[in-house]
Chain A
Amino acid sequence: MPEIRNYTMNFGPQHPAAHGVLRLVLEMDGEVIQRADPHIGLLHRATEKLAESKPYNQSIGYMDRLDYVSMMCSEHAYVMAIEKLAGLEVPIRGQYIRVMFDEITRILNHLMWIGTHALDIGAMTVFLYAFREREDLMDCYEAVSGARMHATYYRPGGVYRDLPDAMPKYEASKWRNDTTVNRLNEARQGSMLDFIEDFTTRFPACVDEYETLLTDNRIWKQRTVGIAVVTPERAVQLGFTGPMLRGSGVEWDLRRKQPYECYSDLDFDIPIGVEGDCYDRYLVRIEEMRQSNRIVRQCIDWLRVNPGPVKIDDGKYVPPSRENMKGDMEALIHHFKLFTEGYCLPEGEVYVGIEAPKGEFGIHIVSDGANKPYRLKIRAPGFTHLAAMDEMTRGHMLADVVAVIGTQDIVFGEVDR
């Protein structure tokens, strides 16, 4: 009698559902997964090592490129770590702007997640609907920082600059006639806050649209209910954070448990799951989008009536205005020092974790008193989630592997760093 063996299959790194460069070595019995072995490192760029050789401010841009679908959140953890070590207090308006953009980033990230998750499971329309909304949020990124993805907007001591008074507008072209352009520019007539407010009024209906396509869809439920169940105890043991942990029913959110910036003044709910399966994690993230929308709304209301500085007035950390620099000797010296040497942080260690869309994103800085970190350690949420891949997929079928990759919301920029 011939011997029956399991066979191994290489899933990725060149695979439509590999979310970048995931390589999974699957040991399969027919279609059933016996063992899933994730291989990482194909997108390793040595961010941590690079940061050791640059003045602190020059590494902010690298943080954007870690989790390239939730850019500003990674920046946030990094600048907060610097601020904590240097003992800087961010002006309240700066805090609100940061929180607003954190939540915009959360919506951006979850839109990307719902699009790819649905696409992996075969529903391709949601992907394009989600990208329609992402476009508007990307425009906000662009309006505020000049870059649509890698913003480098947060700086130690605040944010780069205050919100702009006008939104950039579309122009008529060969492909867009005047009526289309007018329709597209309708929401862009006022300030940026007006534009975001308009978005927040439109957005809940968009989420309803995604939900119509998915939430009660029989096929969607068959594909997600009961798939990759993680018990609350096990989720904690595996080091899950963010929606992965909350989907299992553990109410843990750093915005609540260790409030940073102005989160303690804001009103929002934390959704948690019951079963701990893919469907619950899906519902948690959908609800998080609605809650983020609520937070953005509150931030807009606050920002409208409270003008003020958005960064600290300390020439040692924040570059002086261009005007000052041209006329004032001290400002010129500050400018020169800041853009050549940077600033030195006191000797010590600091860890700051924030609630990034994917979970707890942490930055650990060890400083020896120089103008660059002695050691920088990044705690990426996706890394711990990916480690649970084997446990989550074992005994499921090949088609469920893509559902699990989707539900983990893996982005290789942060896993491989």
Chain B
Amino acid sequence: MLEMFQTVWAIVPMSLQTLIVILLKIVAIVAPLMLCVAYLTFAERKIIGHMQVRMGPTRVGPRGWLQPIADALKLLMKEIVIPSGSSKGLFLIAPMLSLAPALAAWAAIPFQDGLVLADINAGLLYILALTSVGVYGVIIAGWASNSKYAFLGAMRSAAQIVSYEIAMGFALVGVLIAAGSLNLGDIVRAQEGSLVHWFWLPLFPLFIIYFIAGLAETNRAPFDVAEGESEIVAGFHVEYSGMAFAIFFLAEYANMILIAALAAIMFLGGWLSPFQGIPVLEGAFEWVPPIVWFLAKTSLFLFCFLWFRATFPRYRYDQIMRLGWKVFIPITIAWLMLVGLAVVLELPWWFD
């Protein structure tokens, strides 16, 4: 069996071989990611449910475990209604445009040392570029729907995402200065040492701002004005139904996981063990594969996403803009100066 496979593989031309390997790698990333998205929605309903003294889904499958599968099936069966006044082509392109970058960005994410699809040098830049493309999906969806609610949602989200992109970009520049590299693997390796060597400590304000900007970027509460349930019903995807709606949903949750993973990589040392440098514990936890730490850190941020949603009221649109421009951008710029100074002076622990 194995021999037969090897002979067949040898016949395949070299270029096709690489292509197949890359495709398999992509499947190996996207398939678990989609499963994660499905179960993130389940986790959200369960966790928020328990925060709100209720149970969350319990009926489909044992303890409700099949709920996300049932939801997906239901949405697949539904008709995709295309409003007669809409611009049909754009209307259908928009969901794809928001999901594609959310998935593509995962190419540059290192799950552990060396375990990355594309180990590109400008990884950070690539991710920043792709997450910005996602906003076009939202804007086009709002525009193509030809509905006032959707249009308001699109306008809000365009303004919001563009302005938080700046704060987010500056926060990333801080990481870039501190690590001296745009490669995500190198950024993690620059944090090697111990828990206090991770960038969350020297870049604390940037860390907080990055996470909050990430909330805004993914349109999550308390920054969910683009779909503000009680104001503009569902915002930009008010006219979408069935799978087209589900794709927006997938994109939102894939983006959430992406932001959480990036926060873990850039500020909490990615796959590095939190017990590094601690005499006894380091040895005791040697057996844990590094990817587990990475996933645990990502889950921590994802939990915060859900926690905030259960706790906070929603900002008003103009207040979000004020927060972004008048608070976050000045703070990030000021902290960039400090970090720059620290790098020049080669301040120990982090920058020596």
Which of A's residues lie within 8 Å of B, judged by CB?
7, 9, 15-17, 31, 118-125, 128-129, 132, 213-214, 217, 219-220, 222-223, 397-402
Q: List 20 A-B contacts (CB under 8 A).
A: A16-B230, A17-B230, A31-B317, A121-B313, A121-B314, A122-B221, A122-B222, A122-B313, A123-B311, A124-B52, A124-B309, A124-B310, A125-B310, A128-B53, A128-B54, A129-B52, A217-B313, A219-B222, A397-B317, A399-B225
Q: Which residues of A contact B316 (CB under 8 A)?
A: 222-223, 397, 399-400
Instruction: Flag if A213 contacts B311 (CB, 8 Å).
Output: yes
Instruction: Flag if A219 contacts B313 (CB, 8 Å).
Output: yes
Count residues of B near A (Cβ-Cβ below 8 Å).
29
Complex Cα–Cα for A247 and B27 (A): 60
Which of B's residues lie within 8 Å of A, judged by CB?
51-54, 148-149, 152, 156, 221-222, 224-225, 228-233, 309-319
Complex Cα–Cα for A124 and B311 (A): 8
Q: Of B51, B52, B228, which one neighbours A399 at CB under 8 angstroms?
A: B228
Instruction: Flag if B312 contacts A219 (CB, 8 Å).
Output: yes
Q: Which residues of B contact A399 (CB under 8 A)?
A: 225, 228, 231, 314, 316-317
Complex Cα–Cα for A119 and B229 (A): 9
Q: Which residues of B contact A118 (CB under 8 A)?
A: 313
With A17-B231, A129-B53 as known contacts, state yes or no: A219 contacts B314, CB within 8 Å: yes
Instruction: Flag if B313 contacts A398 (CB, 8 Å).
Output: no
Instruction: Flag if B152 contacts A7 (CB, 8 Å).
Output: no
Complex Cα–Cα for A119 and B319 (A): 18
Instruction: Flag if A222 contacts B152 (CB, 8 Å).
Output: no
With A124-B52, A213-B311, A399-B225 as known contacts, state yes or no: A119 contacts B230, CB within 8 Å: yes
For residue A156, give the distance in angstroms from its CB to the closest CB of chain B. Answer: 41
Q: Which residues of B contact A123 (CB under 8 A)?
A: 311-314
Q: Which residues of B contact A15 (CB under 8 A)?
A: 233
For residue A214, give the distance in angstroms from its CB to the closest CB of chain B. Answer: 7
Most chain B CB neighbours (cut-off 10 Å) among A9, A118, A122, A401: A122
Instruction: Flag if A402 contacts B230 (CB, 8 Å).
Output: yes
Q: Of A125, A217, A402, which one neighbours B231 at CB under 8 angstroms?
A: A402
Instruction: Flag if B148 contacts A125 (CB, 8 Å).
Output: no
Complex Cα–Cα for A182 and B312 (A): 34
Instruction: Flag if A220 contacts B233 (CB, 8 Å).
Output: no
Most chain B CB neighbours (cut-off 10 Å) among A213, A219, A399, A402: A399
Most chain B CB neighbours (cut-off 10 Å) among A128, A129, A220: A128
A214 to B, closest residue via Cβ? B313
Q: Which residues of A contact B51 (CB under 8 A)?
A: 125
Most chain A CB neighbours (cut-off 10 Å) among B222, B228, B310, B313: B313
Q: Which residues of B contact A121 (CB under 8 A)?
A: 230, 313-314
- Since A128-B52, A220-B313 are in contact, a sample of 14 more A-B pairs with Cβ atoms closer than 8 Å, ordered by chain A residue number, is A7-B148, A15-B233, A17-B230, A118-B313, A122-B228, A122-B229, A213-B311, A223-B316, A223-B319, A397-B317, A398-B152, A399-B231, A402-B230, A402-B231
Q: Which residues of B contact A223 (CB under 8 A)?
A: 313-316, 319
Q: Which residues of B contact A213 (CB under 8 A)?
A: 311
Complex Cα–Cα for A174 and B311 (A): 32
Complex Cα–Cα for A31 and B149 (A): 11
For residue B50, give the distance in angstroms from its CB to the closest CB of chain A. Answer: 11
Instruction: Flag if A9 contacts B148 (CB, 8 Å).
Output: yes
Q: Which residues of B contact A397 (CB under 8 A)?
A: 316-318
For residue B321, give the distance in angstroms from its CB to the closest CB of chain A. Answer: 11
Complex Cα–Cα for A387 and B64 (A): 47
Q: Of B225, B233, B319, which one neighbours A222 at CB under 8 angstroms?
A: B319
Complex Cα–Cα for A223 and B314 (A): 8
Most chain A CB neighbours (cut-off 10 Å) among B152, B156, B314: B314
For residue B233, give the distance in angstroms from its CB to the closest CB of chain A. Answer: 6
Q: Which residues of A contact B319 (CB under 8 A)?
A: 222-223
For residue A209, give the distance in angstroms from its CB to the closest CB of chain B. Answer: 11
B149 to A, closest residue via Cβ? A9
State the 9 A-B residue pairs at the shortest beta-carbon distance, nearest first: A122-B314, A17-B230, A128-B52, A123-B313, A122-B313, A399-B316, A121-B313, A120-B230, A219-B313
A402 to B, closest residue via Cβ? B230
For residue A325, give the distance in angstroms from its CB to the closest CB of chain B. Answer: 47
Instruction: Flag if B224 contacts A122 (CB, 8 Å).
Output: yes
